[in-house]
Chains A and B, each alone.
Chain A
Amino acid sequence: MASPRADAPSKIILSASDLHRVVDRIAHQILEKTSGATGTVLLGIPTRGVPLARRLAARIHAFEGIDVPVGSLDITLYRDDLRLHATRALGKTELPGGGIDGRRVVLVDDVLFSGRTVRAALDALNDEGRPSSVQLAVLVDRGHRQLPIRADYVGKNIPTALSESVRVSLTESDGLDEVKLTGGEEK
């Protein structure tokens, strides 16, 4: 992935309030599509998918008073591009009590791009157990899929150039809520 230069122009795609609205909407959509989130588990993909999954659960609780189990699913050991980068530190995999067998798993990630992360997540999930179904929620879909994968819940579709980069910031990990698009000048 091309990393943008420090002086590259950047544009705010989602402000903090936009981001909050988008999370609220996805929470509503999940409730709608899963008949009130029964038998549903939210699994965030580290790093930023995990706080997003927690926020979704919190919003669902606020709207309906339902506690949706939340966990994390690290996909590093399932990546297909390990040899292209220096060794990565592992994230945490923490499945909620009761596991995932027979339940509906909603994978949560910040950005959907090539689809390779989700492919790895599906493999990882397969080794963890046998969910009844798997859905995908992302904050941003920036296109450029390399695999036949689509999201069930999308916060915002952002058309991008390959040379651009989408930066998601969350208070939990980055101190502020914001989504930025940077770069795009590459010849």
Chain B
Amino acid sequence: MIKHLRSAADLDAPTATLILDTAGEMAALAGREVKKLPTLRGRTVVNLFYEDSTRTRISFEAAAKRLSADVINFSAKGSSVSKGESLKDTALTLQAMGADAVVIRHPASGAPHRLAQWVDGSVVNAGDGTHEHPTQALLDAYTMRSRLGRLDGLKVAIVGDVLHSRVARSNVLLLTTLGAQVTLVGPPTLIPLNVAAALSPKTKVSYDLDSVLPDMDVVMMLRVQTERMQDSYFPSAREYSRRYGLDLARMRKLPEHAIVMHPGPMNRGMEITPEVADSSRSTIVEQVANGVSARMAVLYLLLGGKA
């Protein structure tokens, strides 16, 4: 089993499939009255969050607690972190506390890689800068597989700000590993120039959402921050949503079985209209529930054996 989950590229197809299968078992257990399992009793999981992300932190916290791990939340606010303690010094502190795993969310790309050099425990990337968010990709893949029954051969469009999206990077890597065909869609300013060569040669790129939709099994809308406008990535929110937003008319172009995903938090009215977000094709709420199962699976597989 792997020691760290820093990137979706850490996962080969058998390992990724094992995580998804394990997540399935975890999800089944989530349905019963007693949700807690004794599995990780005595193990310590630290949530080291340098960015506000209540939903991701809560998801990891719930996952760790359902497996009976001790959870320590170490947030950048109100701690020595904001007083300028370096990541390395924080790492040494966590090491001294005997952390078996550190779940890290950080605004700097690669911070989990650095952390892994300084602690003995496992490091789980919960989102680093504009790099990756591998557990999000796992829960997305899990959601697709449970809705559509397979990943191999699935056609997935990832739409929006791919350039700044850690979700997109992890999804391209993981989905490609599992045999899906990913098409990245967005304005050329928000699609990295050499994205296919960088991530996976099988990745396709399109600047025209309408032409892509009829062929897709999954369309994943990425959050687009309005601040990108100031940097001239696109002229206006209105023009963006007109060209790349998912509304009812566009949703109708999808095949009957296709699903609509969003990693959240949504900008309703920007990349997705409320009618689409709340439609029966949308898996947005499911994704949240699946997030706990996927993270339980990751924590179990990283910590549930001999260290």
Contacts and interface: CB of A to CB of B under 8 A. Distances in A.
B37 to A, nearest CB: 5
B21 interface: yes
Q: Looking at A90, A92, A126, A127, which has the most chain B CB atoms within 10 Å of its CB?
A: A90
B28 A93 contact: yes
B29 A89 contact: no
Contacts of A83: 305-307
Contacts of A84: 306
A56 to B, nearest CB: 24
Contacts of B32: 127-129
Contacts of B39: 77-78, 82
Interface in B1-59: 1, 18, 21-22, 25, 28-29, 32-34, 36-39
Main secondary structure of the interface of B (DSSP, over half): loop
Nearest to B296: A77
Nearest to B26: A90
Contact of B38 (A77, A86, A88, A92): A77
Contacts of A78: 37-39
B25 A93 contact: yes
A89 B21 contact: yes
B116 interface: no
B232 to A, nearest CB: 48
Interface string A73-115: 0100110001111111110110000000000000000000000
Interface in A42-92: 74, 77-78, 82-90, 92
A93 B29 contact: yes
A118 B21 CA distance: 24
A46 B21 CA distance: 16
A77 B300 contact: yes
Contacts of A77: 29, 37-39, 67, 300, 304
Interface of A: 74, 77-78, 82-90, 92-93, 123, 126-129
Interface of B: 1, 18, 21-22, 25, 28-29, 32-34, 36-39, 67, 300-302, 304-307
Nearest first, the 10 closest Cβ-Cβ pairs linking A and B are: A87-B305, A127-B34, A77-B39, A90-B25, A77-B37, A87-B1, A86-B305, A87-B304, A87-B301, A82-B304
12 contacts: A77-B37, A77-B38, A77-B67, A77-B300, A82-B305, A86-B1, A87-B300, A90-B22, A90-B25, A92-B25, A93-B29, A127-B34
